[in-house]
């Protein structure tokens, strides 16, 4: 297992010499600063420090020196890991990993060697730091990587830690990738495929971003993913106003929360920026999978009930509890899927139920709490957002929006995964693809 080497990042000003005592304005301060191995003595009058460009020049130059040195060290580490990955393939002989030639300044590293079928293959490697975001990947996609005739060439992204989102973007655009821990997907079409995962990744301080598992963030994500909103142009302010216009009232997220979520999703390349501060979804399925990964169905309280009512009698009683579709209750999970994309049949009725009407519900459908053998599965939501843009039908209770149905099924046992896939293929993808062609 390949492990990343922990390196101590140098501060170009760390070796500053004598620390001067604080002086009042108008007095002179002498400060010793180390720059590229040499010490420079700077004398300045404190009252005018921000007017002396030389001081700022020294600091900026030192920062550039440190950045250059840091990138060079990172490139050496990336080259070492790539040599080890290629060296693990016994039939790859006489391969080399070297810095890119001076004439090819667009790439950082170049790995090349012969292939068994004849000819030569080349890996053109772009090295990036941890600060490189998925939203910036688009700037690399069209970079040329021609290496001559009879040469198979592949583009590779190297980072200290490659997130699942970044890996998905690489694969979608035909790029390979690897990290300092040795996790990788290196592919030379028709020649080589190395896939490794599970190595302990480089630990990084979490970036400040939105937590998609919170009820408030989920309200924004539902609005972006709902098939009824496919292709919509949003601004942050009309996202907030949108909730006030809903037939079924759902708490609106704050403008600050919308700003945080939108910035996070833009950084992750799920959203594209439009003129006049607008935005829209760029990658619907990617966003859905990110929400699925963050979603916690255990936030909802689950109740088990049994009733003797069945079929139409039960459906009519349920409908009577919320005849105007105001978000008192709705079919959920498997029961919603039976209406939206019938694939899996099961004997229970699944419901989201507003806790304010739970006693009325028990009385109306003659339901009794049970420890086992339930035929009613009731979820008490932690947030009214689950009732966002419910799908209504004539003479029946409404069901959850297809996006909500999908994540609930994906986190349900039994054949939940199968039912979720049917929702994705039959309801969500057709709506999204209609506006992204």
pLDDT given at position 53: 37
CA–CA dist 381, 388 (Å, integer) = 12
What is the C-alpha to C-alpha distance for residues 223 and 291, in angstroms, rounded to an integer? 12
Average pLDDT over residues 371-399: 94
- Dihedral sign computed on CA atoms, order 84, 85, 91, 92: negative
**Band of the pLDDT at 413, cuts 50, 70, 90?**
confident
Contact assessment for residue 110 and residue 99, using Cβ atoms and an 8 Å cutoff: yes
What's the CA gap between 368 and 126, in Å, rounded? 63
Alpha-helical (H) ranges within 163-283 are 164-172, 215-225, 236-244, 255-267
Q: Are 111 and 84 in contact (CB under 8 A)?
A: no
Task: Give CA–CA dist 42/33, Å, rounded.
Answer: 8
User: Whole-structure pTM over 0.85, yes or no?
Assistant: no
Residues 6+ apart with CB under 8 A from 92: 86, 113, 192
Q: Mean pLDDT score of the chain, rounded to an integer? A: 83
SS3 132: coil
pLDDT of 142: 84
Tell me: pLDDT of 41 over 60. Answer: no
* Phi, psi (rounded to 5 degrees) for 264: -65, -45
Q: In this structure, is the dihedral angle defined by the CA atoms of residues 234, 240, 241 and 246, taken in order, positive or negative?
A: positive
Q: What is the pLDDT of residues 68-123, one digit of tens each?
A: 446 788 899 999 999 999 999 888 888 999 998 766 658 999 999 998 878 889 99
Q: Is the pLDDT of residue 5 over 60?
A: no
Q: Express each pLDDT in 119-144 by its tens digit.
A: 889 999 999 988 898 989 988 888 88
Taking alpha carbons only, the member of 143, 83, 136 closest to residue 109 is 83
- Only one residue has tokens 């708490």, namely 251
Comparing C-alpha atoms, which of 288, 261, 283, 258 is closest to residue 272?
Answer: 283
pLDDT surpasses 80 at 62: no
pLDDT-based confidence at 65, cuts 50/70/90?
Answer: very low
109, 99 contact by CB (below 8 A): yes
CA 227 – CA 229 distance, rounded (Å): 5
How high is the pLDDT of residue 343? 92
184: Cβ contacts below 8 Å, ≥ 6 apart: 85, 176, 177, 178, 194, 195, 196
Quick one: pLDDT at residue 47? 40
The answer, yes or no, to whether residue 45 has pLDDT greater than 80, is no
Q: What is the largest CA-CA distance in the chain?
A: 91
Distance between CA atoms of residues 186 and 87, nearest Å: 13
% of the chain exceeding 70 in pLDDT = 80
pLDDT classification of 145: cutoffs 50, 70, 90: confident
> Quick check: 60 pLDDT over 50?
no
Q: Which of the two residues, 338 and 7, has the higher pLDDT score? A: 338
Q: Kindly state the percentage of the chain with pLDDT values over 90.
A: 62
Q: What is the pLDDT of residue 230?
A: 95
For Cα atoms 365, 369, 371, give the angle at the middle one, nearest 5 degrees. 140
95-102 LR contacts (CB < 8 Å, sep 24+): 99/75, 100/124, 100/125
């Amino acid at each position: 297992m390949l492990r990343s080497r922990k390196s101590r990042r140098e501060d170009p000003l760390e070796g500053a010499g004598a620390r001067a005592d604080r002086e009042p304005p108008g007095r002179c301060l002498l400060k010793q600063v180390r720059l590229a191995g040499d010490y420079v003595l700077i004398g300045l009058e404190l009252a005018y420090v921000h007017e002396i460009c030389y001081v700022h020049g020294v600091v900026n130059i030192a920062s550039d020196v440190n950045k250059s040195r840091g990138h060079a060290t990172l490139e050496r580490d990336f080259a070492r890991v790539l040599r080890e990955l290629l060296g693990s393939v016994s039939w790859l002989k006489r391969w080399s990993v070297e810095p890119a030639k001076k004439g090819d300044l667009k790439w950082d590293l170049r790995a090349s060697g012969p292939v068994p079928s004849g000819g030569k293959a080349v890996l053109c490697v772009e090295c990036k730091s941890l600060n490189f975001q998925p939203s910036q990947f688009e700037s690399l996609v069209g970079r040329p990587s021609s290496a001559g005739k009879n040469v198979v060439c592949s583009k590779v992204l190297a980072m200290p830690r490659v997130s699942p989102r970044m890996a998905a973007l690489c694969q979608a655009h035909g790029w390979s990738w690897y990290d300092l821990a040795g996790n990788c997907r290196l592919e030379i079409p028709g020649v080589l495929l190395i896939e490794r995962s599970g190595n302990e990744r480089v630990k990084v301080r979490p970036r400040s971003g939105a937590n998609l598992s919170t009820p408030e963030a989920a309200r924004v994500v539902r609005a972006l993913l709902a098939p009824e909103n496919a292709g919509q142009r949003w601004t942050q302010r009309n996202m907030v106003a949108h909730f006030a216009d809903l037939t079924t009232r759902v708490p609106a997220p704050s403008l600050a929360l919308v700003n945080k979520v939108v910035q996070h999703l833009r950084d992750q390349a799920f959203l594209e920026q439009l003129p006049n501060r607008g935005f829209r979804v760029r990658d619907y399925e990617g966003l859905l999978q990110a929400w699925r990964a963050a979603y916690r169905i255990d936030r909802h309280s689950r109740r088990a009930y049994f009733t003797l009512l069945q079929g139409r009698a039960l459906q009519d009683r349920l409908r009577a509890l919320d005849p105007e579709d105001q978000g008192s209750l709705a079919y959920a999970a498997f029961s919603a899927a039976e209406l939206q994309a019938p694939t899996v049949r099961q004997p229970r009725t699944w419901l989201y139920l507003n806790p304010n009407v739970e006693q009325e519900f028990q009385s109306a459908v003659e339901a009794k709490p049970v420890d086992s053998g339930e035929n009613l599965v009731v979820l008490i939501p932690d947030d009214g957002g689950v009732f966002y843009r419910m799908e209504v039908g004539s003479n029946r209770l409404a069901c959850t929006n297809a996006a909500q149905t999908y994540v609930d099924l994906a986190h349900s046992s039994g054949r939940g995964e199968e039912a979720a896939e049917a929702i994705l293929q039959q309801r969500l993808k057709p709506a999204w693809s209609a506006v992204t062609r």
